[in-house]
Structure 1
Amino acid sequence: MNILVCIKQVPDMESKFKVNGEGNWYDSAGLAWRMNEYDEYAVEQAVQLKEQAGGDLTVLCIGPERVKETMKKALAMGCDRGVHVADDDSYKKDPFSIASIIAEHAKTKSYDVIFTGLQSQDRGSAQVGVLTAESLGIPSVTTIVGFEFANGTITVKRELEGGVKAVVKLPVPALVTCQLGLNTPRYPTLPNIMKVKKKELITVAVADLLKESALEETQALYFPEKKGGGLVLEGDIGEMADKLIKILKEKTAVLA
């Protein structure tokens, strides 16, 4: 079994954000970085599949030099090797460009299963996984919350609106995007952290993989405009009703 899991390094969502000097993304200075939450479920499921079926598990991440630290966590969780696609401007690339990079890497590697997170916490497009599968000409299933593999067939549960779950079967090779609830990601143990030093972590220039330019780019990024707070009415029901009617008359065209 040849497995690929794609991860992204994102800032901790509790960080204090500010817009960068170019005005098109957040300023990365002073931020704490971590693995994208949805990708942690992808890594855990990929490791579980390797443990079940055997084989080889590669983790891929696109970004600047600092993403290697996040890749080391994936290696400590059980990935066998890492492929770092060096790109200081990865944040400027649209989902199609990111998917094209992954597909270009994967097209000659004969991966049986590719795992990605549902979406990234900073961009949230939820497009990279399915665009990668489309570029490779393989089937994909999104938002999975259950995963089984037997006899060359993947059986997954998808989370739909209203809490409904759909069961889908598909043959390998295939790609799945992973959602909250799929599993509980493991904590890397100290022995496995120490083993990371001996695992292969190669760096590939993004120019060697990206053959097409971006289809879109972020023109501007800004914080939402601040609005006034809500008004809390107190008193008995009759008093609050009178107050509400008065406010509606003053603020809107509602007539008594």
Structure 2
Amino acid sequence: MKILVCIKQVPDMESKFKVDSEGKWYDQTDLAYRMNEYDEYAVEQAVRLKEQVKDADITVLSIGPERVKEAIKKALAMGCDRGVHIKDDEDYKKDPYQKANIVYEFAKDKGFDIIFTGMQSQDRGSGQFGVILAELLGIPAVTTIVGFEYADGVVTAKRELEGGKKAIVKVKLPALFTCQLGLNEPRYPTLPNIMKAKKKELLTHDVSEFLKDEALVETVKVDYPEKKGGALILEGDIADLVEKTVQILKEKTSVL
């Protein structure tokens, strides 16, 4: 079984963000970076599947500048077999469609049986990459999975729906799965596995080898959230509060 895991390196969400000089993204200097949290669940599920089927082989792939190799090395220490770094110093300027096309060009002739991605990235949060990649490859996509079982070429996945509801989906491989928080508990790389990871294959390709399509979406401007006035707190008898609330809505809004 051939498994591909797509991961992204993102800033630590506790970082202090500033809009960059172009006003189209955040300033990437002086930020601490880590593997996207959703992708950690994808890596863990891939490694668990390998432990189950024994003959599986896991490739972990990431697009980005030189620093993304640190995220790839963590995935290798968690149990992936080889890493692929598609070097792109301006990956943040590419939309999900363009990135999915880059991975498609890499993966289209590799015969992957199963692909794991995170449900979304913590910085952009579009949730589009995985389903676009599956569409390009012509395979089913099962999104926001919180449960995963494999047997005889069929995956039974539990999907998270709105309102706390779940759906059970069965799909034959090849297929792609986007992983939601809570799917599993990602393992912490041990020191021996970190040392083993240093000897694992990590190939680097320039993005120009796979870049075929133009972006469909352009980020025009990034700005800070607009500051608005404070809340109005009403106190007193319930009947009076209702009357005051209705009056405020009439005078200050277009709701009534």
TM range (shorter): over 0.9
CA deviations over 1:223-243 (Å, ceiling 9, x no partner)? 121011213334565775676
Q: Relative to structure 2, which stretch is displaced further, 210-219 or 171-180?
A: 210-219
2:39 is aligned with 1:39 = yes
Question: Is 1:114 aligned with 2:115?
Answer: yes
Correspondences of 1:60-209 after superposition (within 5 Å)? 60-209=61-210
Counterpart CA distance in 1 for 2:215 and 2:246 is 53
Name the SS for the 1:198 alignment partner. Answer: coil
- Find the aligned partners of 1:254 and 1:214 in 2 and give their Cα distance: 39
Shift in CA distance, 99/232, structure 1 to aligned 2, threshold 3 Å: same
Aligned residues: 255
SS at match of 1:108: coil
Which residues in structure 2 correspond to 1:220-235 (within 5 Å)?
Answer: 220-234=221-235
1:2 aligns with 2:2: yes
Q: Secondary structure at the match of 1:39?
A: helix
SS in 2 for 1:121: coil
How far residue 216 of structure 1 moved from its aligned partner, in angstroms, is 2.1
How is 1:47-58 mapped onto 2 (pairs within 5 angstroms)? Answer: 47-54=47-54, 55-58=56-59
Residues 227 and 110 of structure 1, relative CA distance in 2, 3 Å threshold? same
SS at match of 2:66: coil
Q: Which amino acid aligns with 1:133?
A: A
CA distance in structure 1 between the aligned counterparts of 2:210 and 2:254, rounded to whole angstroms = 59
TM-score (normalised: structure 2): 0.93
Q: Kindly tell me: are residues 117 and 253 of structure 1, through their superposed partners in 2, closer, same or farther at Cα, counting changes over 3 Å? A: closer
Cα offset, 1:51, TM superposition:
0.8
| Structure 2: unaligned runs, 5 residues or longer | none
SS of alignment partner, residue 92 of structure 2: helix
Deviation at 1:246, TM superposition (A): 6.8
Distance 2:214 2:242 in 1: 59
Q: Residue in 2 aligned with 1:23?
A: 23
* C-alpha spacing 1:47/1:247, structure 2 compared with 1 (3 Å): same
Note the 1:213-252 alignment, pairs <5 A.
Answer: 213-234=214-235, 237=238, 244=245, 251=252
Deviating more after overlay: 243-252 vs 79-88: 243-252
Distance 1:245 1:155 in 2: 51
Evaluate the alpha carbon distance shift between residue 253 and residue 62 of structure 1 in structure 2; reply closer, same or farther with a 3 A threshold: closer
In structure 2, relative to structure 1, the CA distance for the partners of 1:139 and 1:238 (3 Å cut) is: closer
* Equivalent-residue separation in structure 2 for 1:119 and 1:86 (angstroms): 21
Identity of aligned residues (%): 70
In 2 relative to 1, CA 221–152 (structure 1 residues): closer, same or farther, beyond 3 Å?
Answer: same
Measure how far apart 1:153 and its partner are: 0.9
Q: CA offsets per residue over residues 106-143 of structure 1, 9 Å max, x none?
A: 11111110000001111111111011011111111111
Report the Cα distance in structure 2 between the residues aligned to 1:46 and 1:7, rounded to whole angstroms.
Answer: 12
- What is the DSSP-based 3-state SS (H/G/I as helix, E as strand, rest coil) of the residue aligned with 1:232? coil
Distance 1:104 1:253, change over 3 A: closer
Shift of 1:200: 0.9
When residues 63 and 253 of structure 1 are mapped into structure 2, their CA distance, relative to the original with a 3 A threshold, is: closer
Between the aligned partners of 1:253 and 1:102, the Cα distance in structure 2 is 48
In structure 2, how many angstroms separate the alpha carbons of the residues matched to 1:238 and 1:163?
35
Distance 2:20 2:254 in 1: 42
- In structure 2, the CA distance between the partners of 1:253 and 1:39, relative to structure 1 (3 Å rule), is closer
| DSSP-derived class of the 2:198 partner | helix
Which range is displaced more, 210-219 or 135-144?
210-219
Distance 2:166 2:183 in 1: 12
Counterpart Cα distance in 2 of 1:107 and 1:4:
12
